A and B are shown apart, each in its own frame.
Chain A
Amino acid sequence: MLVFIIRRLLQSMLVLLAVSIVVFVGLYAVGDPVDILLPDDANQSERQAAIRSLGLDKPLITQYGIFLGKAVQGDLGTSFVFNIPSIELILSRMPATLELALCAMVIAVLIGIPLGLWAGLKPGSAADEVITTGSILGFSLPGFWQGLMLIMIFSVWLGWLPSNGRGTTGTIFGIETSFATWDGLRHLLLPAINLALFKLAMMIRLTRAGVRETMPLDFVKFARAKGVSEPRIVLVHVLKNILVPIVTVIGMELGSLIAFSTVTETIFAWPGMGKLIIDSINKLDRPVVVAYLLVVTMMFILINLVVDLLYATLDPRVRLKGVSE
């Protein structure tokens, strides 16, 4: 197991290196940040000074070399705009995004899997029709429109929930979070639902398909022939079998929720990483964008690693390379 984890982490170093090159070169090609950073009336010498101070006067390969040299020491550059280390900037925004993503995923899993089971166990029933049709809506209505509708209904018409910001935050275990206060939770609810709807639909689909596939199998019938009760058959025999694809998707989707909840964060003015990256791209704040993408890459690598480790616990037939006897 340990060998497997170490090998994977070493591989991830290569992935990070590749990503950093692609991102660095890509951003270089996009445009010159100096044009955006400096006021319009800046003169030539001010321009030169700025370029030098940002290190943009050196050739690309040297810039990358300097970046890499600092990166291995944990310094991913300093934001052009905020003038603080970009990694610090990202980490300061991370809790807001993490709590939003986790909350959305929990909603999707806790509601999606039971609904999927229900629909899958009674195919063709009225409940199945309603759940399946509902999941199509969740899939096909665009996220930004869902977000606007949520604000219109719950904030504007009903006035139940606030429509923007993070509200009052408290600290749990030294982490600043909206979970700690009632006001924070109220602020969290709408954006979390907005993010969750698509994932919820996906969970329903996935679970339903898995149940439909597994129920006719012989081992389910054999369990019945043993006299095992129906709840135990569904919750132990069937659910454990369909958990492998579900865990895979949860992992992938959790990653994408954390990394790409940009639209929702923008609509609900949620001060998370998604909003930061949009602002940084607009201002061509290279160090922040590079650092952000590296952080996101690392996060995906870690999530994939956890998912792979979960496979081995969920399905005994899975043997991880490097773990074999």
Chain B
Amino acid sequence: MTEPLLVIRDLETHFDTRQGTVKAVNGVSLEVSRGEVLGLVGESGSGKSITGFSILGLLDPPGRIASGSIRFKGEELVGASQERMRRLRGKDIAMIFQDPMMTLNPVLRIDTQIIEAIQVHDKVSHKAAHARAAEALRRVGIPSPEERLKAYPHQFSGGMRQRVAIAIALLHSPALVIADEPTTALDVTIQAQIIHEMQKLCAESGTALIWITHDLAVIDSMGDRVAVMYAGRIVETGAVRDVIAAPAHPYTRGLIDSVPSRNHRGQRLAQIPGMAPSPLNLPQGCAFNPRCTFADAACQVVPDETDLDNERNGRRVRCFHPIRLAQETVS
């Protein structure tokens, strides 16, 4: 088989601050195949968004990729020229942001913002670009697109704006879309619509998707594979069904247990004890060990990512004491 669409190896993204170096992404390795939906799950500050921005080369200073490799279609992106990255962005890799109220420029009309995204990569006339812009809006389910093109972002609702952002991201049928919590700021009903729409559109064009979220339920409904991040590292990867049914890392387990819908009514919601560590002051060894009920002396060293025994399909976990089904029945 050929190389997957996107291969990230040992990515380290650091922020040099006055208080010290924050290792926001601390040795992340992951792959995305063509057309695959990968859920990147973690709490705020776990480094999942920074991983996404690292791929696109959109880190704001002082953020920088300290080491590692990001290969897209076999091409190394770490250290690629600004101009090369600009040509890639929007064309081959697109991104959708969290807050649709903020992603569109408030003083530019929708048509301006779509047409510039078309013309920056394709040499087409303004008229042809306009027609494509209208078609793009129709595809994401915006009624009477010709009229809406003349509107300004503030005349759209949040859900509509996110549709516009999705339309822009899909303009050039990119091979990969990075969606950074695109439904977090939306109503639940709109969330479901957007997720459904994204799934459909990506399936149509064979676009791979990295869906960054803190909501496991969303991944459960749409993802092929999931990668769980904690304090800058991926702690567990695998097929969504396997991971949700039988989480191996204690942190994943904690996350799944704290989803309200999985608990019985009236019972106390399960919580992960303690707080997420400060990125400036990570615990020695496995960053989760102070909050982990299974932690022992071995956990003072950072565990490697290992294939979980008796698992196929790329199930890996970064833990000395992965939870196995047998163990669960004992405890």
A residues adjacent to B (C-beta < 8 A) = 216-219, 221-229, 232, 236-237, 240-241, 314-317
Residues of B within 8 A of A217 (CB): 102
In the complex, whether B94 has a CB less than 8 A from a CB of chain A is: yes
Residues of A within 8 A of B91 (CB): 227
Chain A-chain B contacts (Cβ-Cβ < 8 Å), number = 77
Kindly report which residue of chain A lies nearest to residue B172, judged by CB atoms.
Answer: A227
B residues adjacent to A (C-beta < 8 A) = 56, 58, 60, 86-91, 94-95, 97-99, 102-109, 116-117, 120-121, 152, 154, 165, 168-169
Residues of B within 8 A of A223 (CB): 105
Kindly report which residue of chain B lies nearest to residue A244, judged by CB atoms.
Answer: B107
A317 touches B106 (CB 8 A): yes
A228 touches B120 (CB 8 A): yes
B99 touches A241 (CB 8 A): no
Residues of A within 8 A of B152 (CB): 316-317
The interface residues of chain A, by DSSP majority, are classed as: helix
Residues of A within 8 A of B109 (CB): 316
Q: How far is the CA of A216 from the CA of B90 in the complex (A)?
A: 19
Residues of B within 8 A of A228 (CB): 90, 116-117, 120
Q: How far is the CA of A241 from the CA of B169 in the complex (A)?
A: 23
Q: How far is the CA of A159 from the CA of B60 in the complex (A)?
A: 50
B116 touches A232 (CB 8 A): yes
Closest 5 pairs (CB-CB, A-B)? A227-B90, A218-B102, A316-B152, A226-B90, A225-B95
Q: How far is the CA of A218 from the CA of B108 in the complex (A)?
A: 14
Q: How far is the CA of A221 from the CA of B165 in the complex (A)?
A: 12
B106 touches A241 (CB 8 A): yes
Cβ 8 A contact of B107, one of A221, A222, A224, A241: A241
Q: How far is the CA of A246 from the CA of B9 in the complex (A)?
A: 47
Residues of A within 8 A of B120 (CB): 226-229, 232
A316 touches B60 (CB 8 A): no
A227 touches B88 (CB 8 A): yes
Known contacts: A241-B106, A314-B107, A317-B154. The answer to whether A224 contacts B89 by CB under 8 A is yes
Cβ 8 A contact of B103, one of A218, A314, A316: A218
A221 touches B108 (CB 8 A): no
A236 touches B108 (CB 8 A): yes
B102 touches A226 (CB 8 A): no
A222 touches B108 (CB 8 A): no
Residues of B within 8 A of A218 (CB): 97-99, 102-103
> Min CB distance, B133 to chain A, in Å?
13
A221 touches B86 (CB 8 A): no
Known A-B contacts: A227-B121, A240-B107. Give 9 more (CB < 8 A): A222-B103, A225-B58, A228-B116, A228-B117, A228-B120, A232-B120, A241-B105, A316-B152, A317-B106
A221 touches B58 (CB 8 A): yes
Q: How far is the CA of A210 from the CA of B324 in the complex (A)?
A: 55
> Min CB distance, A274 to chain B, in Å?
37
Task: Kindly name the residue among B95, B116, B169 whose own CB sees the greatest number of chain A CB atoms within 10 A.
Answer: B116
> Min CB distance, A156 to chain B, in Å?
48
Known contacts: A225-B58, A315-B107, A316-B152. The answer to whether A219 contacts B102 by CB under 8 A is yes
Kindly report which residue of chain A lies nearest to residue B105, judged by CB atoms.
Answer: A219
Q: How far is the CA of A229 from the CA of B95 in the complex (A)?
A: 16
Residue contacts A-B, CB under 8 angstroms, 5 given: A216-B60, A222-B104, A225-B89, A228-B120, A237-B108
